[in-house]
Amino acid sequence: MMQSSHRRAGSIIPQGQFATLLLESAKKLSPLYLAKNPVMFIVLIGTVITAVLSVEKIISSQSFLYELTITVLLFLTVFFATFAESVAEARGKAQAASLRSARADTPANRVLDDGKIEMVSSTTLKHDDLVRVGVGQLIPADGEIVQGLAMVDESAITGESAPVLREAGGDFSSVTGGTKVISDEIIVRVTSLPGESFLDRMIALVEGANRQKTPNEIALGILLAGFTLIFVLVVATLLPLAAFIGVRLEVTTLIALLVCLIPTTIGGLLPAIGIAGMDRALRANIIAKSGRAVEVAGDIDTLLLDKTGTITLGNRQATAFIPVPGVTEERLAKAAHLSSLADNTPEGKSIVELAILRGSRVETGLREQAEFIEFSAQTRMSGINTPDGKQIRKGAPDRMMRLVRESFQKVPPELQADVERVARGGGTPLIVTEDGEALGVVALSDIVKKGIKERFAQLRAMGLRTVMITGDNPLTAKAIAAEAGVDDFLAEATPEDKMRLIKAEQQKGKLVAMMGDGTNDAPALAQADVGLAMNSGTQAAKEAGNMVDLDSDPTKLLEVVEIGKQLLITRGALTTFSITNDVAKYFAIIPAMFASTIPSINALNIMQLSSANSAILSAVIFNAVVIPMLIPVALRGVSYRPMSAETMLTRNVLIYGLGGVIVPFIGIKAIDLVVGLVF
Amino acid sequence: MDVFLSYLLVFALALPLGWYMARVFSSQSTFLDVVCSPLENLVFKLLRVNPRQGMTWRGYALALVFTNLPLGLLAYLIFLFQGSLPLNPDNIPNMPWDLALHTAASFITNTNQQHYSGQAQLSYFSQLVAIVTLMFVTPAVGLAAMVAVLRGIMGGLRPDDNTGAIPAANLGNYYVDVFRAMTRVLLPLSLVLALLLTWQGVPSTLDSAKTATLLEPSAESTTQTIPIGPVAAMVAIKQLGTNGGGWYGPNSAVPLENPTPLSNLLQMIAILLIPVASVFMVGFFTHRPRFGVSIMGCMVLLSAALTFFMLVTALEPNHAFKGLAASSANMEGVEQRFGATLSALWATWTTQTSNGSVNAMMDSLNPLAGLVPMVGMWLNVTFGGDGVGLLNFFTYLIVTVFIAGLMVGRTPELFGRKIEAREMKLASIALLISPLLILVPSALTVAMPSLAANSNPGFHGLSQIVYEFSSATANNGSGFEGLGDNTVWWNVMTSICLILGRFIPIIAPLAIAGLIGMKKAAPQSAGTLRVDTPIFAATTLSVILIVGALSFFPVAVMGPIAEHLTLGQALPQPIPLEGVR
């Protein structure tokens, strides 16, 4: 996480890349490339025409300053657009490079058919080759562990410093090339070659090399092309119509008007916005397999969230000792403490911690003399036989009550009530006995993460429904669901249950996002509209989902939704801004076109621009510079907080709609104050 | 005050009518079933139409086109040969081919743009059979298409509503919708209005023209021929059906067509009645009253703004009288019986809807007042023509949903149904129609003066040209006049505008509704875009103004605005196009 927050910082343009960026942008000026973007293609054609007109004027030694300036400005407009796209791509590449750096050529110990070991370079490895990786060695390629187990440091990929356990068989058998084994030795079957691994393929996607337009981007492109066509008609018909009322219009001026009216701002920034969306996901250490996946994330209606790790802090913890009448809390705490001395599970440790907090101390030397009873599936209890002969046990309520009865002791009625109360409250009750006598209940509870309730409330305001998935029994699940403020829960959930839930939600027309890691999650991950696989999960899970979270952090699902929404909002906001800008541009250029022949029309020059040429140039300059000025917005996304659709619409219409009307009036006037000195 | 009361009357009558229309088109029982149902069954049997058979958008559009085509053709042939056809007591001759083409195109598109003068160039047969039939059919077609679109955006009719299951969204049955619109809405309303108008003195007879001896005979003439006929019936449907074509050339300015203040009021109400009732109907029909209210809000605001601007500008004194002591409102071209206010109100209402009937001379309006009817036609959504006004609004609604939908962070959806590339393509085509059909022919007309034989120079001349094409494209039918428009050029060019301007803006929304009707609807939540909130209505209004009106800002400047600003100055002279550059 530290690394990812580090990645988030930094300037818009990757350091030391300015020259490369200029070159990349220049390459994109090719007409073939621009033809994919109708808005910018029209600007390019306009540039060529004004260039020809400038040359004509130069040859016939007329004054050519105006034509030449317009030509340069139009060229800059196109260039700024390709520049924006190049910057977005460069940021993606820089991000990808830092992921790749860990994946360079490494030596590998290939296991031959006869069992001998051969030292080769990782680049020569083939599919299904077996390699042996020992302590301190880098895993040469993505693969599955076929033998052994090891602690693996995956910080190069995830930024998470704590090593993770990987072992053959089960859900934690996949390892990633470039990560380091820090204990034991494993045999790995290579599943993909360096440079072609799953992650490599996905990183290539992020770099923009194989980027395809998303459905929404295509639809918006069509609308923008429609607007462009309307304005082409408006401007093309102006020439004869103006001639009819005795006004001679310059072709250069008409082209300037056209370029100002067509939605160049959004047309220029649209590709950059799309790339930046995937890039923002990558900054959150999420690799999206396609731009479409990010787009869909904005539409999610239902989030399936795993309880553990997302809603609650990892494991359950002891939160209270509830003694039966006649037993002090001190005595119960001491007994619980003793019974958990050898219990290394997080629950056991938390009991010890709570007991110490309640003042319980264990005599020195007791540990060595006592006999520990380990938990087993048969006895379903654990405990200790102390040197002074006490038999202390703890376990699940039904088992312990049987033990009490078997010891011919009475089960106090209060005990039954306490057990039920703890269970109803979402906790897990354990009973502690001493020589068959029930002392009381230890309550283990899930600790709901701080701030998660507020987060869910925000999600609800945005119209998202949250469903908690847990293996707990319905009673416990209900209590935690209430405490965390989720909308619904699925208790005692099996992978099949998850699948059913997803299908049921989709039947209602909802889009569902889920996170998973196990192989048995794969069908559900594939079925969900957004399937976020944990990188720690199996290859099957990663292949099935449409995103992979390198940090394997369950809360990432919330971030994914926000990134998707932000991407769509940025598109909508800049489209609105681009179109509303036209009002001011009309009021700058139209009076300028006619006022020289029909002076009365200057009444429409409400900005009081200094001259006709200055008015037109100022509008064109504004139109050009607004593109680079909005590159940061396009790349970072418009500022976004969770809120209801109506509030969000009001806010964005005011900022980008009303702002889009007002800002250019100010901008063009300001530019005119400078340009007016020359023209 | 007159204005406010007129609005109030319209709304008071339109609300119950809207409720009634929703029942009619949801096939619920109405009090007219006793008469209509047997008739309906008979007609469907004769036409071999299964009224319970649903249609996809393609089926609906095809039925629409292939019923309109023969009707238009028939009308064309009637005009072409009316001289030899019956019911022609005044011996009116055949129409020339281009005028017949234009007249047929004009009436099949619910436009009623008239390049002929009603009483002088149409026989009773032409008026009654061709004109009045089309006046009834075309508004019914518009209403039917609107109802089909509403069904589509709500996901189409459920399978159990029709017998034959169809693979795509079921938009209902075109023939049933048209027939119900005619028999249960248009006919009864026109019957009532025709009777009221006859009572007020509008002629209602099949006799030939009357000849009167002048009280003060002059050297040239001693008698006057006064054309009459079944005027009341035609005027009723002319107004209710947003048709606009009058019996007489000068339309509702003629005393026989519009004799009293009451007849004037009745006709004005009739202009707005069905378009306003259709908007009320949306709320009842979709069971989303707030949706209807939000559309109504948009339209009322626009309508009120246009009307207000109209009244302010039209009541300015005529510029020629500026500085004189007795300066009142500009009365040039105003029918004295109604006065300037009611003429101005009529002028703006008739162009906000696609009606196009007139009771004063648009050409004589003050320049800026002349801009108001043009804006009304460019937008064509302030209530608009019967049915089609809402269809135009629907196109803007789709574009707004797309942009606003993105701004709330979801891929755009209307009532939970996604709007994607194909829908945007259709909406863009529909948006393109207005600028394409108004600006391009106008430019061609001024660029080829020899061909177009354009009559007037200067800003006002340009306004006349742009107005004519706007009126044709918006299927309005009113004329700025002052234009020698009965020429081959004008007849053919405006026919193209009429037909494309009618059918593309009907078929594109039908297709959009059919496409989204097939999609699965996502349930509404706090995160989905609501189309019935004030902020969404305001956004729609902005889209209409910026996208719809801004395209015409340059011509508005070159026409009425320049004329206004240069009043009293010398007229500009056109420059030859070859000299440009």
Collapsing DSSP to helix, strand or coil, A445 comes out as strand
**Distance between CA atoms of B387 and B433, rounded to whole angstroms?**
18
Q: From the DSSP assignment, how many helices (H) and strands (E) are in chain A?
A: 25, 22
pLDDT given at position A193: 67
pLDDT tens by residue, B416-475: 888 989 999 999 999 999 999 999 999 998 888 777 666 678 888 888 889 989 999 988
Query: B212's torsion region: left (phi>0), alpha (psi -120 to 50) or beta?
Result: beta
Q: Give the residue-averaged pLDDT of A447-463.
A: 81
pLDDT given at position B580: 43
A240 touches chain B (CB under 8 A): yes
pLDDT tens by residue, A189-243: 888 766 666 666 666 666 655 567 888 889 999 999 999 999 999 999 999 999 8
- How many CB atoms within 10 Å of residue B315? 15
Residues 213-232 of B with CB under 8 A from A: none
pLDDT given at position B324: 65
Residues 446-475 of B with CB under 8 A from A: 446-447, 457-459, 461-462
Among A249, A508, A568, the residue with its CB nearest the CB of B409 is A568
Q: What's the token pair of residue B542?
A: 């902005």
Q: Give the residue-averaged pLDDT of A568-572.
A: 93
pLDDT given at position B162: 47
For a pLDDT cut of 90, what percent of chain B falls above it?
A: 32
For strands A512-516 and A371-373, give the pairing: unpaired
> B367-379 and B289-314 helices cross at what angle (nearest 10)?
160
CB neighbour burial string for B188-215, b if at least 16 within 10 angstroms, e if fewer: ebbeebbebbbebebbbeeeeeeeeeee
Cross-chain Cβ contact A649/B565 below 8 Å: no
- CB of A395 within 8 A of CB of A382? yes
Question: Is the pLDDT score of B194 beyond 60?
Answer: yes
pLDDT given at position A521: 77
pTM: 0.83
Q: Which residue of A has its CA nearest to B409?
A: A565
Q: How confident is the model at residue A627 (pLDDT cuts 50, 70, 90)?
A: very high
Calculate how close chain B gets to A298, using CA atoms only, in Å.
Answer: 5
3-state SS record for B439-470:
HHHHHHHHHCHHHHCCCCCHHHHHHHHHHHHH
Residues 515-544 of B with CB under 8 A from A: 520-523, 525-530, 533, 535-536, 538-539, 542
A640 touches chain B (CB under 8 A): yes
pLDDT given at position A211: 65
pLDDT given at position B54: 84
Q: Which residue of B has its CA nearest to A53?
A: B581
Q: What's the token pair of residue B432?
A: 């393109």
B566 touches chain A (CB under 8 A): yes
Question: Is the pLDDT score of B69 beyond 90?
Answer: yes
Write down how long chain A is. 679
Residues 409-438 of B with CB under 8 A from A: 409-412, 416, 419-421, 423-425, 427-429, 431-432, 435-436
Question: A-chain residues within 8 Å CB-CB of B565?
Answer: 598, 600-601, 603
Provide CB contacts within 8 A for A203, sequence distance 6+.
A96, A99, A100, A287
pLDDT tens by residue, A84-104: 988 888 887 777 777 666 555
Q: How confident is the model at residue A381 (pLDDT cuts 50, 70, 90)?
A: confident
B565 touches chain A (CB under 8 A): yes
pLDDT given at position A33: 84
A649 touches chain B (CB under 8 A): yes
Among A233, A296, A462, the residue with its CB nearest the CB of B436 is A233
Q: How confident is the model at residue A11 (pLDDT cuts 50, 70, 90)?
A: low
A-B contacts (CB, under 8 Å) = 238
pLDDT tens by residue, A596-612: 888 888 888 888 988 88
Q: Which of A174-178, A503-507, B58-62 has the weakest average pLDDT? A: A174-178
pLDDT given at position B504: 94
DSSP B335-400: -TTTHHHHHHHHHHHHHHTT----SB-GGGS-HHHHHHHHHHHHH--SS-STTHHHHHHHHHHHHH
Cross-chain Cβ contact B416/A509 below 8 Å: yes
pLDDT tens by residue, B318-354: 776 666 655 567 777 777 777 778 888 888 888 887 7
Cross-chain Cβ contact B574/A246 below 8 Å: yes
Q: Give the residue-averaged pLDDT of B138-153.
A: 93
Q: Which residue of A has its CA nearest to B437?
A: A233
Q: What's the token pair of residue B481?
A: 């006049």
Nearest Cα residue to A138 out of A100, A102, A180: A180
Question: Is the pLDDT score of A495 beyond 60?
Answer: yes
Cross-chain Cβ contact B462/A241 below 8 Å: yes
**Distance between CA atoms of A645 and A352, rounded to whole angstroms?**
49
pLDDT tens by residue, A527-565: 889 888 887 677 777 788 888 887 777 678 888 888 888
pLDDT tens by residue, B274-320: 999 999 999 999 999 999 999 999 999 998 888 888 888 888 777 76
pLDDT tens by residue, B485-533: 778 888 999 999 999 999 999 999 999 999 998 888 888 887 888 888 9
Nearest Cα residue to A515 out of A313, A310, A315: A310
pLDDT given at position A3: 38
B545 touches chain A (CB under 8 A): no
**Distance between CA atoms of A286 and A279, rounded to whole angstroms?**
9
Q: Which residue of A has its CA nearest to B403?
A: A572
Cross-chain Cβ contact B526/A463 below 8 Å: yes
Average pLDDT score, chain B: 85
pLDDT tens by residue, A474-494: 887 888 888 888 899 988 888
- CB of A634 within 8 A of CB of A88? yes
pLDDT tens by residue, A255-290: 999 999 999 999 999 988 988 888 888 888 888 877
Question: Is the pLDDT score of B581 beyond 60?
Answer: no
Among A229, A249, A301, the residue with its CB nearest the CB of B525 is A301
Residue listed under structure tokens 């390709």: A82
pLDDT given at position A262: 93
**Distance between CA atoms of B135 and A138, rounded to whole angstroms?**
84
Question: Is the pLDDT score of A654 beyond 90?
Answer: yes
Alpha carbon separation from B546 to A256, A579, B297 (Å, rounded): 20, 8, 18
- CB of A513 within 8 A of CB of A525? no
Among B406, B442, B580, the residue with its CB nearest the CB of A571 is B406
Q: Give the residue-averaged pLDDT of A46-61.
A: 92
A251 touches chain B (CB under 8 A): yes
Cross-chain Cβ contact B402/A219 below 8 Å: yes
Chain B interface, best mutation among A230, A239, A244, by max B CB count within 10 A: A244
Burial class, A553, CB count within 10 angstroms (exposed 0-12 / middle 13-18 / buried 19+): buried
- CB of A381 within 8 A of CB of A392? no
Residue listed under structure tokens 């204005």: B3
Collapsing DSSP to helix, strand or coil, B494 comes out as helix
Question: Is the pLDDT score of A8 beyond 50?
Answer: no
**Distance between CA atoms of A180 and B396, rounded to whole angstroms?**
59
Cross-chain Cβ contact A649/B402 below 8 Å: no
Residues of A that are catalytic: 306
